[in-house]
Amino acid sequence: MSVVLEAFNAPTAIRVAARTLGWPFAWLGKKGDPNLPPLLRALSAMGPAYVKFGQILSTRPDVVGEDLSRQLKVLQDRMPPFPRSVAVESIERELEIKVDDVFSEFSEPVAAASIAQVHRARLATTGQEVAVKVLRPDVEAEFRRDFDAFYLAAWMIETLSPSSRRLHPRDVIKHFEGSVRGELDLRLESASAAEFHASTADDEGFIVPEMHWALSSRRVMTLDWAEGISANDLDKLDEAGIDRKIVGERLLARFLEHALRDGFFHADMHQGNIKIAANGDIIALDFGIMGRLDDYTRRVYAEIIFGFIKKDYRRVAEVHFEAGYVPADRDIDEFASALRVVGEPIFGMSAGDISIGRVLTYLFEVTERFGMETRMELIHLQRTMVVVEGVSRSIYPSINMWDVARPVVEQYLRDSIGPRALLKDLADTVRVLSRFGPRLPQIAENALAAQALNASEEPRRAPTKPMLWFLSGATIAIGFIWVFDLL
């Protein structure tokens, strides 16, 4: 823990408190792998949820430093594996097959992470190469233990620091837990992989391996083998003659397209989940954590990004107020000025010249000052945006996220706010209203019965008919809508 606090330049008092409070309990913990550096040994011994945290930090050398980032990359896909025999036993139990009958080849682990490990295999029937992912033994129990500790820590933070409650620490942990639980059921990951494969099928330079449903279950997942160079191995990328500028910009652009265009994106895109094919195509792996955004949130997010790109901080502020991200009683002009201080230093600079850590620190101060609360629907997006930008700049250090984002966001806004988008919104509204058609007779009968009951209870009051007029008008309107929808 002291290594992490030093990396973040934490105040001396906090470092001393962490050492003092942690020392009496040190003997209770696991020692970890003595061959690993101190921080990696600590995180791997503490549990898989802490390893996930380390994976996120590994993508941010600008925050934790180059040396620590390089160490943490080990957590992405080079964790200690469990024996091949245990994996074979799990596969045979889950799929009710014999591994030797189904696979003509089945390798030792080729990659191991906090939750599962991967084996390279060949189908006996077709000779096709596949990747077989198998969950670690007892990983579910380990995650339950880790999250119990997280909830306790979140409760202590909320209790001891009332100002932190606007960030909803326990809700954030609950959101994170829900995401991770999806990784612990490979059937859900298989479904996400299949959906992501379909939604990105036409994306140039982006590949999602195809699923093999017959060889997948709750603890086992099988998909096409994808040959490529790890996004971590920059030397091999250079040796293969791959243009890292194109790869870095493509990775960031594709992520924004998936988030804005589809509202469905890969939410765990660290280097361990990315390979680069010989032709420069990006191969996405590991679909346990995926993000979703509804239409309205996507438009809000796009307008915020576009406002920053155009340096229209007033519009960015208005969007925050319109979406309810900032309390209505705050001053919009002051908020716009605060956003200008965040955005202006970024323009005209390469990512290598920008301290994202300082930008995020100031942005956090702005959110605290204006009482912005954590938005659960944006957690995946915000976290993944930071990770993807970190991975992109690790591949091509001079990348500028605003230059890459601009054409993607402009295209989305043209499609989602222009005349075509208006017609689409009207058509969607028509479809929703048309569903009320079959229910109108029952609604009318209920209204008549209610009116008759009121008339019998208050005989002197003349019966009113606005509800009947509304139902009659609605019936006619929905009739027209239904015909229009068919056309």
Query: Confidence class of residue 363 from pLDDT cuts 50, 70 and 90?
Result: low
Beta bridge partners of 310: none
| The pLDDT value given to residue 64 | 60
Residue 114: per-residue pLDDT:
78
Separation of alpha carbons 479 and 435, rounded Å: 11
How far apart CA 355 and CA 391 sit, in angstroms, is 15
pLDDT above 60 (res 366): yes
Q: Which of 62-76, 90-104, 187-201, 379-393 has the lowest mean pLDDT?
A: 62-76
- The pTM of the full predicted model, rounded to 2 decimals, is 0.69
220: β partners: 134
Strands 282-284 and 206-207: parallel
Q: Is the dihedral of CA 382, 387, 390, 391 positive or negative?
A: negative
pLDDT classification of 463: cutoffs 50, 70, 90:
very low
Distance from C-alpha of 100 to C-alpha of 103, rounded to nearest angstrom = 5
Please name the amino acid found at residue 242. Answer: I
Tell me if 270 sits within 8 A of 309, measured CB to CB.
no
Burial of 20 (0-12, 13-18, 19+ CB in 10 A): exposed
Picking from 143-147, 176-180, 404-408, which range would have the lowest pLDDT averaged per residue?
176-180
Q: What is the pLDDT of residues 219-257, one digit of tens each?
A: 999 999 999 999 989 999 999 999 999 999 999 999 999
Q: What is the mean pLDDT of residues 464-472?
A: 47
Q: What is the DSSP string of 155-215?
A: HHHHHH-GGGGGG-HHHHHHHHHHHHHHHT-HHHHHHHHHHHHHHTTT-TTEE-PPB-GGG
* Residue in 62, 77, 146, 268 annotated catalytic: 268
Select, from the ranges 44-48, 128-132, 166-170, 299-303, the one with the highest average predicted confidence (pLDDT).
128-132
Query: Is 268 an active-site residue?
Result: yes
Q: At residue 189, does pLDDT exceed 70?
A: yes
**Local structure of 373: helix, strand or coil:** coil
pLDDT score of 322: 86
Checking if the pLDDT of 359 tops 90, the result is no
Q: Is residue 478's pLDDT more than 50? A: no
**Max alpha carbon distance in the chain (Å)?**
93
Q: Is the pLDDT at 424 greater than 90, yes or no?
A: no
Predicted confidence at residue 369, as pLDDT, reads 75
Residues 6 or more apart whose Cβ sits within 8 Å of residue 71: 37, 39, 40
Question: Is 90 exceeded by the pLDDT of residue 45?
Answer: no
251-297 pLDDT per residue, tens: 999 999 999 999 999 988 888 889 999 999 999 998 988 888 888 88
Percentage above 90 pLDDT, the chain = 29
Q: Per-residue pLDDT for 372 more than 80?
A: no
CB neighbourhood size of 204 (10 A): 7
Among 162, 153, 168, CA closest to 372: 168
- Name the pairing type of β-strands 206-207 and 129-135: unpaired
Residues 381 and 266: their CA atoms lie apart, in Å, by: 9
Query: What pLDDT was estimated at residue 480?
Result: 42
pLDDT of 333 higher than 70: yes
Per-residue pLDDT at 329 exceeds 60: yes
Whole-number Å distance between alpha carbons of 235 and 224:
26
